[in-house]
Amino acid sequence: MTSTSSYSYLHKSPQDVLNDIDFQLTLEPALLTKLTKAFLEEINVGLGRYGEDMAMVPSFVTGVPDGSEVGTFLALDLGGTNLRVCEVVLNGDKTFRLRQQKYKVSDQLKTGEATVLFDYLADSVDAFLTTHPPESPTSPISDVPDVLPLGLTFSFPVEQTALGSGTILTWTKGFSAKNAIGNDVVKLLQDAFDRKHMHVKCVALVNDTVGALLSRAYTSGGCMLGAIFGTGTNGAYLEEVAKIPKLANNPAATKGGYMVVNTEWGAFNNKRTHLPSTPFDSALDRTSINPRFQAFEKFISGMYLGEITRHILLSLIDAAPRPMLFGGKATKVVNDQWGLDTSVMSEVEEAWEMRVTVDPTVAKDLDGVGNINEIGAEPRSFPGEIGENLLWDGDDHDILPRWDILSTPEGLASLNPKVKEKLERVRKVLVNRLEYADGDVELRDAAIVRWTCHLVARRAALLSGVAVAAILLQTGRATFIQDGQNGQTVPSTTEEPTSKKVNGANGTHDVNGLSKVTGTIKDGLEEKIGVGVDGSLIQFYPHFERTMRESLRSIVGSDAESRVEIGLAKDGSGVGAALCALQALKQGF
């Protein structure tokens, strides 16, 4: 599908057009705080009632692992671009072994009949078992020892009714398989296994965020939030059962303690009353598969950033009375809906920064994932503050392009050679990835595209910080910066206990084999805060974590931000599903 743009830039100078776009996509700290307050409200509305936009799904996982868990399980992971089948061996010493196979999920499968999709899932498990016969005996299901237990990671909104069942609420991320919504996802899968007479039993259902939380807790000994910043975005955290009023009639409520809640924060502010929507966001939403749903996710996640950027670029290509980009030429990549992948943005930014990062572990270090106290981002310059000679003096300021300098031979000649070199690298990426002829891309185009990518990604990372800050506030681990130093006061939505329970790091084992959250420390505002993350943006997009931390600092202050330990939830979906399967077996599935 192709799409056209309809933004009127008449009566504006090119510089004003750029200034306007910059203004629309720039988020000030006050707005971040306001959004966080709205986020907290939605969190509590969702904890109180079923059927709200932000679903706040109780996962029925009532503890976090501490690394001592053992067992061998099959795991199936559906949620993004690929489908994964794995065998996970939990060694009981915070380590695990994992063998996996990825299978492509075609658009046809994503949008066809649900039974066809679930048959494909079953076929994939079958193929995996043929090519990877179990190395170690899988943990037996007590009454049916020859049946293999499997944990399903299903990364879509599901109203979970127990550890091993849940109703699909809606599809996200480009999926729209028919006759699935309203059905129990575990039953859909089990029926597919049964149709093929496979000796596999799906015993547990888990969201990828819950998986991230559990797997990070397993490998690091403590974690309170699992978050995904990838194709989609979402977070799951440990909530006090007493603060989940909608569980009132459920036996889980009487037990008290803690439960992992899958927030489904991608649906925050679906009404768009607070989110800083631009015409580019509206264009994306209107033509998406799920208009008016997943509003927050559409500002943040990898599935959408490229598309927002594409809309901005198209508006400049089509600018009247004179095109402002690529001489008015558009390639198929920029014309086609979803044509511009978010990875192009990442490559553009890497080219600007001279970062060549192929190895994920290297990318991890460069991004500071896993590091605390990372030095903050450079302060952002505002359009009006840009001095003539400050234009790209060679550092990484996200400076708005100066049309006059970039449009004349003298202006270009006056650029710092280092900057020119960076722009030339970006230009090459554009020729290559956007499929332009070499002569169609100028240095000015490179500057504009790089700035656009930066604006869109920076906004995403700042908004991601809003979500993380809201969870810190909700759990009493931080306070709004404006409310006093280091959180001596708390937001009205949060009930602050005098002694705060922690991550499970000091927990004892409950009957389910997972650690009960029983440790207490003097003050929740002093502890380290474990956050397990996964997803391509947080792992690979230049400075995503750094900018997210900048956002956190502006909302809850640097003390709270520096206590946040962000670590990769390696293979979170597989390990999380295995841990849940273990819990299910212990509960006597």
Distance from C-alpha of 442 to C-alpha of 205, rounded to nearest angstrom? 51
Residue 92 sits at the vertex; the CA angle it makes with 86 and 98, to the nearest 5 degrees, is 20
| Closer to ligand BGC by Cβ: residue 176 or 416 | 176
In the bound state with ligand BGC, the residue whose beta carbon lies nearer, of 266 and 530, is: 266
* CA-closest candidate to residue 53, choices 327, 256, 306, 270: 270
Selecting among 66, 77, 119, 173, the annotated active-site residue is 173
Residue 261 C-beta: closest distance to ligand BGC, Å: 12
The whole-angstrom separation of Cα 44 and Cα 46 is 5
- In terms of CB distance, is 66 or 545 closer to ligand BGC? 545
Q: Name which of 26 and 263 has its Cβ closer to ligand BGC.
A: 263
The answer to whether 410 and 402 have CB atoms below 8 angstroms apart is no
Distance CA 314, CA 291 (A): 21
Smallest separation, CB 80 to ligand BGC (Å): 6
CB half-sphere exposure, 508, CA atoms < 13 A: 5
> Taking the complex as a whole, how short is the minimal distance between the CB of residue 317 and ligand BGC, in angstroms?
30
- Report yes or no: 428 and 347 within 8 Å, Cβ to Cβ: no
* Nearest approach, Cβ of residue 183 and ligand BGC (Å): 16
CB 154 within 8 A of CB 207: yes
User: What Rg, from alpha-carbon coordinates, does the chain have?
Assistant: 24
Give min distance, CB of 427 to ligand BGC, in A: 34
User: Is 77 among the catalytic positions?
Assistant: no
**Which residue is associated with the tokens 């230049």?**
542
Catalytic residue among 208, 281, 341, 571: 208
| CA–CA dist 529, 565 (Å, integer) | 6
Q: To the nearest whole angstrom, how small is the minimum distance from the Cβ of residue 3 to ligand BGC?
A: 22
CA–CA separation, 549 and 289 (whole Å): 32
- In the bound state with ligand BGC, the residue whose beta carbon lies nearer, of 61 and 585, is 61
**Are residues 589 and 203 in contact, defined by beta-carbon separation less than 8 angstroms?**
yes
Q: 3-state class of 399 per DSSP?
A: coil
- Residue spans of alpha helices (H) in 69-178: 107-111, 114-131
Output the smallest distance, CB 171 to ligand BGC, in A: 9
**DSSP annotation of 27:** -
Measured CA to CA, the distance from residue 288 to residue 335 in angstroms comes to: 15
User: CA–CA separation, 524 vs 29, rounded Å?
Assistant: 25
| 159/527 with CB nearer ligand BGC | 159
Dihedral in degrees, nearest 10, Cα atoms 567, 568, 572, 573 = 130
Smallest distance from the beta carbon of 468 to ligand BGC, in angstroms? 15
Strands 200-206 and 258-262, by their bridges, are: unpaired
Distance of alpha carbon 393 from the chain centroid: 33
d(CA 152, CA 185): 9
CB of 264 to ligand BGC, least distance (A): 6
Smallest distance, ligand BGC to C-beta of residue 397, A: 32
Residues engaged in binding ligand BGC (CB under 6 A): 79, 155-157, 172-173, 207-209, 228, 232-234, 264, 266, 297
Closest CB to ligand BGC among residues 173, 459: 173
Whether residue 475 contacts residue 492, with contact meaning beta carbons closer than 8 Å, is answered with no
Is 336 annotated as catalytic?
A: no
Nearer to ligand BGC, 173 or 310 (CB): 173
What 3-state DSSP class applies to 237?
Answer: strand
Sorted by sequence, the CB contacts under 8 Å of residue 191 that are 6+ apart come out as 118
3-state secondary structure of 241: helix
Measure the CA–CA gap between 469 and 463, rounded to whole angstroms: 10
> In the complex with ligand BGC, which residue's Cβ is closer, 343 or 371?
343
Tell me the residue nearest to ligand BGC as measured from the CB: 232
Query: Among 210, 203, 260, which residue's Cα sits nearest to residue 47?
Result: 260
- Whichever of 109 and 185 has its CB closer to ligand BGC, that residue is 185
Catalytic machinery residues: 173, 208
